Copies of this chain bind each other. A is one copy, B any other.
Amino acid sequence: MNRIVLASASPRRKELLEQIGLTFQVCCSTCEEKSQGSEPSSVVCELSRQKADDVWQKEWEDREGLLVIGADTVVSFRGKILGKPKDEKEACEMLSALSGNVHEVYTGVTFCYLKEGRKMSHTFYEKTEVVFYPMDKEEIEGYVATKDSMDKAGAYGIQGRCAAFIKEVRGDYNNVVGLPIGRLYQEMKECFGK
């Protein structure tokens, strides 16, 4: 691959790709993301595919050696998908639910590339369990007041101040940040060599 395009506006995903030394451009998808599914793993796979496909369409002029990477992350608690909170009240409700409990974070990733002139699409997902310490009302409100909740699925960012309330991670930590960078590298190696 001689050109990599990340189909995501997330600064955290950009940082993770930079962290493992990849050179890439960013091109955000503008499609309306819609999933038919309700299973978190299917939803993130479908949405990552939609994002990658949308950017693949935009990059029609030069697809030789192009790899487009799409990704989508959701938080799931007791079978219910938690998206980004619409206001501080909802952020507090989400954190009250996660407090003292274990939940799952799913990230789906799609690669789009050409192989012998044909478009290939390769999708996978990673699941990570996250265990929260109990948070009391004051701690939840204090955290939400930092505004760190507002642009994040499940109303928290594991890499910020919320680290004080994370007891345990089981799986790829970076998957919770937004991109399973270990698995992504391994899948790239499998598809394209080193």
Q: Which residues of A contact B (CB under 8 A)?
A: 16, 19-21, 133, 138-139, 158-161, 163-174, 181-183, 185-186, 194
Q: How far is the CB of A67 from chain B (nearest CB, A)?
A: 16
Q: Is the CB of A181 within 8 A of B194?
A: no
The closest CB in chain B to the CB of A170 belongs to B170
CB-defined contacts of A170 to chain B, threshold 8 Å: 168-170
| Contact residue among B160, B169, B185 (Cβ-Cβ distance under 8 Å from A164) | B185
Cα separation A168 to B126 with both chains bound (whole Å)? 11
Q: Is the CB of B19 within 8 A of A161?
A: yes
CB-defined contacts of A19 to chain B, threshold 8 Å: 159-161, 163
Cα separation A158 to B2 with both chains bound (whole Å)? 27
Cα separation A21 to B148 with both chains bound (whole Å)? 13
CB-defined contacts of A158 to chain B, threshold 8 Å: 173
Cα separation A133 to B180 with both chains bound (whole Å)? 13
Q: Is the CB of A169 within 8 A of B173?
A: yes
Q: Is the CB of A181 within 8 A of B163?
A: yes
CB-defined contacts of A166 to chain B, threshold 8 Å: 172-174, 182
Q: How far is the CB of A152 from chain B (nearest CB, A)?
A: 15
Q: Is the CB of A20 within 8 A of B161?
A: yes
Give 10 A-B pairs besides A133-B186, A165-B182, A166-B174 with Cβ atoms closer than 8 angstroms. A19-B159, A19-B161, A20-B161, A21-B161, A163-B174, A163-B181, A166-B182, A167-B182, A167-B183, A169-B172
Cα separation A158 to B174 with both chains bound (whole Å)? 10
Q: Is the CB of A171 within 8 A of B172?
A: no
CB-defined contacts of A139 to chain B, threshold 8 Å: 194
The closest CB in chain B to the CB of A185 belongs to B164
Q: Is the CB of B138 within 8 A of A164?
A: no
For this complex, 6 residue pairs linking A to B, each with C-beta atoms less than 8 Å apart, are A20-B164, A164-B181, A164-B182, A168-B170, A168-B171, A169-B169
